[in-house]
Chains A and B, each alone.
Chain A
Amino acid sequence: KNEVEQSPQNLTAQEGEFITINCSYSVGISALHWLQQHPGGGIVSLFMLSSGKKKHGRLIATINIQEKHSSLHITASHPRDSAVYICAVSQYGGATNKLIFGTGTLLAVQP
């Protein structure tokens, strides 16, 4: 079982829809990251969370530390939101903040 699980793996939405991507993890963490990667492109850090909720534009990320669960929400989705969204965690303790990644959610927003 992977230490970081994402669902769904693939998601197709119509423009304007509200989208939720889920992430569950099984290790103690110091932070959780949501990353975006366009096809063939680089990785952009969207959010870093250690508790609560963050909002940036149409994107909202929440985390529940007790349940070891995080969600990424996209409101009023747009075709330009089409990308792979990756959940990653920095494991608590130790000397490194290396990331452990989920397998990603491929989002396609159709006009």
Chain B
Amino acid sequence: DSGVTQTPKHLITATGQRVTLRCSPRSGDLSVYWYQQSLDQGLQFLIQYYNGEERAKGNILERFSAQQFPDLHSELNLSSLELGDSALYFCASSPQSDYGYTFGSGTRLTVV
């Protein structure tokens, strides 16, 4: 167990639907990052939150949104799902003090 918890591990849903992925960071880590791993694009940065505030945005679609709650857990919301959204979604956390990263085990999303 890395200390970063992602749920669910697997998700199968239909096109057009909306899903929520959840991430609990390692204890004490204030930053949460979301990454997407697809076969054609590899690993890509989506968005970062730091202590409840959005810190940076990457290649995140307008259909996707995220937030970080006061207890520091984060949720990634994916809506109007398309077949191309099928991917592994990773959450990672890092402390304020250095650049260390801890990854969660990922959520495998399959859109059918």
Residues of A within 8 A of B (CB): 30-31, 33, 35, 41-45, 48, 50, 86, 88, 90, 94-101, 103-104
A-B contact pairs, 26 of them (CB 8 A): A30-B99, A35-B103, A42-B2, A42-B90, A43-B92, A45-B100, A45-B101, A45-B102, A48-B99, A48-B100, A50-B99, A86-B43, A90-B99, A95-B56, A96-B48, A96-B56, A97-B31, A97-B94, A98-B58, A99-B35, A99-B43, A99-B101, A101-B42, A101-B43, A101-B44, A103-B42
Asked if B18 is an interface residue, CB under 8 A from chain A, the answer is no
Most buried by B among A30, A33, A35, A42: A42
A96 to B45 alpha-carbon distance, docked (Å)? 11
Given contacts A31-B99, A86-B43, A99-B45, contact A44 B31 (CB under 8 A): no
Complex: chain A residue closest to B45, CB-CB = A98
B25 within 8 A of A: no
3 closest A-B pairs by beta carbon, nearest first, are A96-B56, A42-B105, A31-B99
Q: Which residues of chain A are near B98, meaning CB under 8 Å?
A: 48
